[in-house]
């Protein structure tokens, strides 16, 4: 009647009491209104079966999204933080999901993030009729909290574990424990050892993000976060923590290099004085004596193709084209600065252009720009060089800083 697409889920029941209980619980779920939770529009009984009409999301579930979008770690953190806010909203009204996993997370083509399928949800500490009548096992072993594997009743902290296990899979291409059954996972937990990492982890994930997830994966619930909001806050702060640490390392490195240069120049001056009777003018280094950075020509065709793809709106393909070009040249110690800076600036300009109209897409492009401008600073010609390189590095650092500021601003608005 409202002329909108909906998704419909049906349950079979075996009596009026069960049916009434299911309906009451579905009605409570319908009260959960949050931008990161799929909305329930209607719940009723039709021909003896409970049906729930809910929001339709045009996009992918988490499993397909990882393969389709090939997200970098910042995009995974953005999606995860949004999903975590949805779970926190559910916890705030006493709803525990109990089966959060990649397939119960939807990412729309517009970048929207929605938690879905509260079919195993329980209200507070009570039993769940929806759990009783859902198909399959009550939960998924790969993402199930240890206390629930042991048969204990879970709570909101169990959702934290499932959330952390899901995020681990997104970033490291494997669930923390590789077992397929509850018994196999429980045995792995008992044996101990490091969490699993798959064949295709997301490159560049900061150790700070990993540590945030490891706390969420604590075996005992009391060792996890205070609540889901605290978990989300730690996850969102981790990139800034990583960036601040990187800036501190760069500052210390720069100071050390400057100190070494000053000491070297002083030593050179003293040595010249001792040899020339204090006359050092002819031997002092000048700006012209600094070694010039070799200008090896770059292959521009791949970069031009990447920029053409970007202009045509093929953003993911453009980023992949640059990444292939970069990997090939970096592995051969060939220059990457000029091409990377051109690409990074182009992504940044496009992100600014789309900022107000399509903020989720602009966020993604700003993240691309940030990554590409970082890569420009790793040009092999910069190793051990001074002088001309400092100006070039400042250009790449400025591009990175502007992209970093933009994606953080956009992250708060989507």
Which residues are known catalytic residues?
99
Handedness of CA 110, 112, 113, 115 (dihedral sign): negative
The total of other beta-carbon atoms located within 10 Å of residue 272's CB is 17
- Long-range CB pairs of 228-234, under 8 A, 24+ apart, other chains included: 228/84, 228/87, 228/88, 228/91, 228/156, 228/159, 228/160, 228/163, 229/85, 229/88, 231/84, 231/160, 231/163, 231/164, 232/81, 232/84, 232/85, 232/88
CA atoms within 13 A on the CB side of 205: 24
- Of 84, 146, 93, nearest to 122 (Cα)? 93
Q: 254 by DSSP, 3-state: which?
A: helix
Q: What are φ and ψ of residue 126, in 5° steps?
A: -80, 165
Token couple for 193:
């050892």
| Beta pairing, strands 40-46 & 95-96 | unpaired
Going by C-beta distance under 8 Å and a sequence separation of 6 or more, which residues neighbour residue 232? 81, 84, 85, 88
Q: What would the 3-class secondary structure string for 303-366 be?
A: HHHHHHHHHCCCHHHHHHHHHHHHHHHHHCCCCCHHHHHHHHHHHHHHHHHHCCCCHHHHHHHH
d(CA 221, CA 159): 10
Token couple for 119:
């079919």
Q: Can you give the length of the chain in residues?
A: 414
Handedness of CA 247, 252, 257, 259 (dihedral sign): positive
Token couple for 289:
């004596």
Token couple for 214:
């490891």
């Amino acid at each position: 009647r409202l002329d909108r697409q909906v998704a419909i889920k049906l349950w079979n029941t075996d009596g009026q009491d069960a049916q009434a209980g299911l309906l009451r619980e579905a009605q409570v779920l319908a009260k959960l209104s949050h931008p990161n939770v799929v909305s329930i529009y209607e719940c009723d009984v039709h021909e003896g079966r409970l049906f729930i009409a809910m929001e339709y999301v045009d996009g992918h579930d988490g499993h397909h999204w990882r393969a389709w979008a090939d997200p970098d770690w910042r995009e995974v953190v953005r999606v995860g933080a949004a999903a975590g806010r949805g779970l926190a909203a559910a916890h705030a009204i006493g709803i525990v999901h109990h089966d959060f996993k990649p397939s119960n997370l939807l990412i729309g083509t517009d970048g929207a993030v929605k938690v879905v399928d509260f079919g195993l949800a329980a209200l507070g500490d009570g039993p769940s009729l929806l759990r009783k009548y859902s198909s399959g096992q009550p939960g998924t072993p790969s993402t199930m909290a240890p206390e629930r594997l042991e048969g204990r009743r879970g709570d909101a902290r169990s959702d934290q574990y499932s959330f952390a296990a899901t995020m681990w899979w997104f970033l490291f291409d494997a669930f923390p424990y590789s077992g397929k059954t509850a018994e196999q996972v429980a045995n792995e937990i008992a044996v101990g050892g490091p969490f699993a990492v798959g064949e295709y982890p997301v490159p560049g994930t900061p150790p700070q993000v990993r540590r945030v997830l490891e706390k969420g994966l604590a075996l005992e619930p009391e060792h996890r976060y205070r609540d889901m909001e605290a978990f989300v806050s730690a996850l969102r702060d981790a990139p800034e923590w990583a960036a601040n640490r990187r800036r501190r390392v760069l500052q210390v490195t720069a100071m050390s290099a400057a100190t070494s240069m000053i000491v070297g120049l002083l030593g050179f001056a003293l040595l010249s004085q001792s040899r020339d009777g204090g006359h050092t003018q002819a031997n002092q280094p000048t700006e012209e004596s600094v070694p010039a950075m070799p200008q090896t020509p770059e292959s521009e065709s791949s970069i031009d193709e990447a920029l053409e793809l970007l202009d045509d709106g093929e953003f993911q393909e453009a980023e992949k084209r640059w990444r292939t070009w970069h990997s090939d040249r970096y592995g051969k110690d060939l220059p990457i600065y000029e091409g990377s800076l051109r690409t990074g600036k182009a992504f940044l300009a496009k992100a600014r252009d789309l900022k107000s109209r399509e903020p989720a897409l602009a966020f993604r492009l700003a993240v691309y720009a940030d990554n590409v401008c970082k890569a420009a600073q790793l040009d092999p010609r910069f190793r051990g060089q001074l002088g001309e390189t400092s100006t070039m590095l400042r250009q790449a650092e400025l591009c990175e800083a502007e992209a970093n500021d933009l994606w953080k601003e956009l992250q708060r608005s989507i």
